[in-house]
Structure 1
Amino acid sequence: MTDPNVPPPRDDRPDVVHHTTINNPSTTDRGGGAGWIGFLVGGLLVVLVIIAVVVFSNGGLNRTTDTKVDLDVDLPAPTLPEAPKMPDLPDLPAPSVPNPEPAPGN
């Protein structure tokens, strides 16, 4: 008895089947997708050169050798207005604390 779900065997197939697919895209179909990578790498190189110039030239391209500083500066000190006087505190008697009624048992 044969299974009705299995197709009948075919004898016209070869023993070895070779499938080879070769895709050769033409150069006109590429669309230039790699151009932005070169632009990005070039921009990063320019930024690195600018950083290197700033770091290795002590902060900039124009350096001065004159470092004399004149420390003779006379500035008047500001005067503050008088603070208002606070009123005297009234004399109040010390508060009285009542004794606890049941004495604590020690």
Structure 2
Amino acid sequence: MTDPNVTPPVEPTPRPEVVHHTTINNPPARGGGSSWIGLLVGGLVVVLLIIAFVVFTNGGMTGGRDTNVDIDVDLPRPTMPDVPKMPDLPDVPSVEAPSVPGPEPVAEN
């Protein structure tokens, strides 16, 4: 008796004398995942150009105006009767410079 769960034997197909094999490797299509890097680098280049423009033109487009301004404000000194006057500091004592011996020849052995 034969088992119904077993597949019947398959007879091998005859092989030709000369066998030619051709292998074609198709890489998977890229989804454009690296385009954000180009956008990021381009944005950084634009920001660096703007910073360079501001730095090298001394603050941007001033229109050739003179920006040198002299501000001199004389404010009155407040008078505070409750605060005592600072005492004068004592004079600094005079100090002579230390004497350093001159170089002497070293005895050779």
Report TM bin, short chain.
0.3 to 0.5
Given the two structures, how large is their TM-score scaled by the length of structure 1? 0.45
Given the two structures, how large is their TM-score scaled by the length of structure 2? 0.44
